[in-house]
Structure 1
Amino acid sequence: MAYDDQNIFARILRGELPAIKVYEDEQVLAFMDIMPQADGHTLVIPKTPAVTLLDLPADAAAYTIQIVQKVAKAMEKALDAKGIVLMQLNGAAAGQTVPHIHFHLVPGSLHELGRHAVQMGDQEKIQALAEKIKAAL
């Protein structure tokens, strides 16, 4: 599948759409999911244009997973998370809803997760959780 540079994450990376950012550097962006499956649900995306993990160059994949780990540690500390579900879905058949590689970090357990991308979250609450995570980075 060809990369669509008009997907929502590409537009967030270009600053065309807002995001509640937790972490950003020259290669990766971490931000809060606005339709969270649990409080603190965070997304980590490489800035490299790639639809799935299979399309992402190995060096970008390696760097991105390092940031996934860094953000997960901050979430664990900031939110007193007893567990963090890490999900990465490849292709629509697997449940990928945005055609830009992304990692979901969801505090809690698989048994506690809400449904994916179903209901808009409370933006003030999401912002407050983001501030806690940023403070722990």
Structure 2
Amino acid sequence: MTDCLFCRMVAGEVPATVVHETDRTLAFRDINPQAPTHVLVVPKQHHPTVAALAEADPDLLAAVVRAAAAVAVQEGLATEDGVEPGYRVVTNTGPQAGQSVPHVHLHVLGGRDLTWPPG
């Protein structure tokens, strides 16, 4: 989609601070971080929401989650077995939930104690 910000990032048309990339996913630093580590993980293929992605391509959804876990390890938020010190993975669906870009993305947050509930 030519009008989708994240599709344009995937295409290299809009700059991003890329921290992890696979053939199917791209992970980059959030421009408005809500934690010391705040990385967005997107599928390279456009899907508007996590539900739409799960319906259309469950294997790609799994690849996005695997990429988020790899980012957490790479950023020092988790060890290879997925524990300590810890991190949060968040996805927002729709404007009322805070989804500002209609391209599914996972937020990987960490680097400080994260409170619950978040909002």
TM class, shorter-length = 0.7 to 0.9
For 2:21, the equivalent position in structure 1 comes to 24
Q: CA RMSD in A?
A: 2.3
Q: Percent identity?
A: 35
Q: SS at the partner of 1:105? A: strand
Residue 40 of structure 2 is aligned to residue 43 of structure 1: yes
SS of alignment partner, residue 44 of structure 1? strand
Q: Which runs of 4+ in 1 moved over 3 A?
A: none
Structure 2 gap segments, 5+ residues each: none
Q: Which runs of 5+ in 1 are unaligned?
A: 116-137
Q: Does 1:89 align with 2:92?
A: yes
The answer to which structure, 1 or 2, has the higher relative contact order (CA under 8 A, 6+ apart) is: 1
One-letter identity of the residue aligned with 2:43: P
Partner of 2:70: 70
Which residue in the other structure is 1:111 paired with? 115
Tell me, in whole angstroms, the C-alpha distance in 1 between the residues paired with 2:113 and 2:87: 7
How many angstroms apart in 2 are the aligned matches of 1:5 and 1:111?
Answer: 37
The alignment partner of 2:41 has SS state of strand
Q: Structure 1 residue 18: deviation in Å?
A: 0.2
Q: If each structure's helix is expressed as a fraction of its own residues, which one has the higher value?
A: 1
User: SS of the counterpart of 2:115?
Assistant: helix
> How many residues were matched structurally?
109
Q: In structure 1, how many angstroms separate the alpha carbons of the residues matched to 2:78 and 2:91?
A: 22
Aligned equivalents of 2:99, 2:78: Cα separation in 1? 28
Query: Could you tell me which amino acid in structure 1 is paired with residue 87 of structure 2?
Result: I
TM-score, normalization: structure 2?
0.81
**TM-score between the two structures when normalised by the length of structure 1:** 0.71
Task: Give distance in 1, aligned partners of 2:58 and 2:37.
Answer: 28
